[in-house]
Amino acid sequence: MQGTILIVDDERTICHFLGKSLEADGHSVRVAASAAEARKVFAREEPDVALIDLRLPDANGLELMAELRESSPGLHVVIITAHSEVGTAVEAMKRGAFDYLAKPVNLDELGVIVRKALSTKRQSLELSHLREARGREIGLDFVETRNPRMLKALEIAREVARSETTSVLIEGESGTGKEVVANIIHRSGPTVAQPFLEINCASLPEKLLESELFGHEKGAFTDATSQKKGLLELADGGTVFLDEVGEMPPAIQVKLLRVLEKTTFRRVGGTRDITVRVRVISATNRQLDREVVSGRFRQDLYYRLKVVPLSLPPLRERPEDILPLANHYRERFNGAFGKSFGRFSPEAERRLLKHPWPGNIRELKNLLERTILLERGDRIEERHLALDAVRSAPERNGLVAGLERLLAGEVPPGGISLEGIVEHLERAAIVAASELTDWNQSRACAILGINRDKLRYRMKVYGIHRDETEEKLRRVAE
């Protein structure tokens, strides 16, 4: 990989030999004998890598490095130093230098360091582009919001992003956009160029979750064949997003509390404290205050996570946002699938506004993706929308009556809805098993004969959440 290299050194011989070596590797070389000349080069073009001597006739090399990196944060600087100044070069690396070369410069070492610097810069640019694309995608989901509660939540999120607050707790039902808001917080402040790493606390066994968060040392357990850095260490300076934090096991809650209180932790099997500066954003669809009262979640950790609380309203409480969001996804998936649905019919719009959206924005997005992929036409009709609405008592009773007539050997008028019957039975079984086990998912799975992933998937599909179930069942039965 070739690039443009700036050499800043007042010794002409060194500049000549370093330049010839770099040009032989295919790089473009620019030379400056002083800090003033280096500034003129930067005024004309921006090099990829700068080789800067520590001692310049008109400036200190470290000061010039700081100045150039301030105007060009993506610049990789390699310090050139005498053997007696290696300690200063190491200090330069702590201040942001990519590496250093000691005089007399080994040309093979020079080539390796420059290639590594260019490769690292390319990877950083690619990652930046990916983050930018990801930010555009997730940010659009809220551009059209007109809901006062959602606008207030976004206002707080952007205010938090500009502050030094390290902990944010986002509460809301599944599919309301908690991950999106976490990304907005990360991207709206000075951490935008730093890592944003996320983990679902409910998706991993305890030992694996601990290793993913904190890392481990070689030999810490049977499969630990090498040292591994955890997300907290990798995200230093950036953000860690803990989704479904209410599912975090008690032992890991203790370790996370220490990170929030002392900004230090140890890898699994480690003996050395590691210090990090990281913002922790947590999300939950549970009411953690009730989890604290029940003893399932630590009170001290709860208050540490909830330095800034954010509550996202469900989509059914944002009726003014339903059609703008639907049109946003219509346009997005039109482009993705090469379709040309121009609008929704009035009947389709009324259906969208009437639907209770138990799966919230995620359900709306999936509906539009499926509809635009499978259907044809110049507008989206009501018949195109395969919505599984929360059924009223007459509908539910009709399902049961139809099934009873079919089992009795009769043909029900109009037939039956097999999917509706399956949904009704699965929903009722999950709620009953959950209530019977006080919402202990492991025990509920044992009763239902399914694993936790399948249980959680069905709960999300049917919009089943603890503490909201009585209200939803009442709405179904009325």
Chain segment 121-141, per-residue pLDDT in tens:
776 665 555 555 555 454 444
**Per DSSP, what are the bridge partners of residue 6?**
30, 50
| β 264-265/274-275 pair status | antiparallel
Beta strand ranges found along 76-184 (DSSP E) = 76-81, 99-102, 167-171
Q: Is residue 112 part of a domain?
A: yes
Same structural domain, 162 and 247: yes
pLDDT above 90 coverage of the chain, percent:
39
If DSSP codes are grouped into helix, strand and coil, which group holds residue 463? coil
Distance of alpha carbon 462 from alpha carbon 389, whole angstroms:
10
What's 461's domain CATH number? 1.10.10.60
**In a domain? residue 134:** no
- Indicate if 153 and 291 belong to the same structural domain: yes
Q: Are residues 365 and 440 in the same domain?
A: no
Q: How far apart are CA 244 and CA 305, in angstroms?
A: 13
Of the candidates 187, 268, 207, which has an alpha carbon nearest to the alpha carbon of residue 232? 268
In a domain, 121, yes or no: yes
Q: According to the model, what pLDDT value does residue 475 have?
A: 46
Tokens, residue 246: 């209410």
Whether the model clears a pTM of 0.75, i.e. scores above it, the answer is no
Whether pLDDT at 472 is above 50 = no
Residues 379 and 404 in one domain: no
Structure confidence at residue 144 (pLDDT): 59
pLDDT digits (tens, 9 = 90+) for 220-273: 887 778 788 889 988 888 999 999 999 999 999 999 999 999 999 999 998 888
Judgement on whether residues 299 and 398 belong to the same structural domain of the protein: no
**Neighbouring-strand partners of residue 275:** 264
Both 45 and 17 in one domain: the answer is yes
The pLDDT assigned to 126 comes to 54
With respect to residue 141, please indicate whether it lies within any of the assigned structural domains. Answer: no
Given a contact cutoff of 8 angstroms between Cβ atoms, the answer to whether 364 and 318 are in contact is no
Domain end call among 297, 313, 329: 313
Please tell me which residue, 435 or 312, carries the higher pLDDT value.
312
Q: Report the C-alpha gap between 412 and 410 in whole angstroms.
A: 6
Tell me, what amino acid is at 430? I
Cross-strand pairs, 76: 49
Q: Which range marks the domain in which residue 469 is found?
A: 393-477
Task: State the pLDDT at residue 21.
Answer: 94
Domain end marker among 331, 351, 384: 384
Q: Can you tell me the mean pLDDT for 315-321?
A: 92
CB distance 105 to 19 below 8 Å:
no
326 lies in some domain: yes
Tell me the per-residue pLDDT of 137-148, one tens digit each, with 9 for 90 and over: 544 444 458 899
Residue 321 lies in a domain: yes
pLDDT of residue 401: 67
Does residue 179 sit in the same domain as residue 300? yes
Question: What mean pLDDT is reported for the chain?
Answer: 84
- Has residue 476 got a pLDDT over 50? no
Residue 333's CATH number = 1.10.8.60
Say what the pLDDT of residue 399 is.
63
Give the pLDDT score at 34. Answer: 93
Tokens of 335: 């482009």
231 shares a domain with 263: yes
Residue 469 has pLDDT above 70, yes or no: no
My answer on whether 309 and 164 are in the same domain is: yes
* Amino acid at site 210: E
Quick one: 172 and 113 in the same domain?
A: no
Residue of higher predicted confidence among 457 and 6: 6
Mutual angle of helices 393-407 and 469-477, in 10-degree steps: 70
Identify the CATH number of the domain in which residue 40 sits: 3.40.50.2300
Instruction: Tell me, yes or no, whether 168 and 260 share the same domain.
Output: yes
Count structural domains, the chain: 4
The 3-state DSSP class for residue 218 equals: coil
19-50 confidence digits (pLDDT tens): 999 999 989 899 999 999 999 988 888 888 99
Confidence of residue 409 (pLDDT cuts 50, 70, 90): confident
Does 469 fall in a domain?
yes
Q: Which residue has the tokens 């090469």?
A: 338
Nearest to 238 by CA among 179, 180, 185, 159: 185
Query: What does the alpha-carbon distance between residue 97 and residue 79 come to, in Å, rounded to a whole number?
Result: 7
100 with 164, same domain: the answer is no
**For residue 471, is pLDDT > 50?**
no
Give me the mean pLDDT over the 316-330 stretch. Answer: 92
Amino acid at 29: V
Q: What is the pLDDT of residue 406?
A: 75
Residue 143 lies in a domain: no
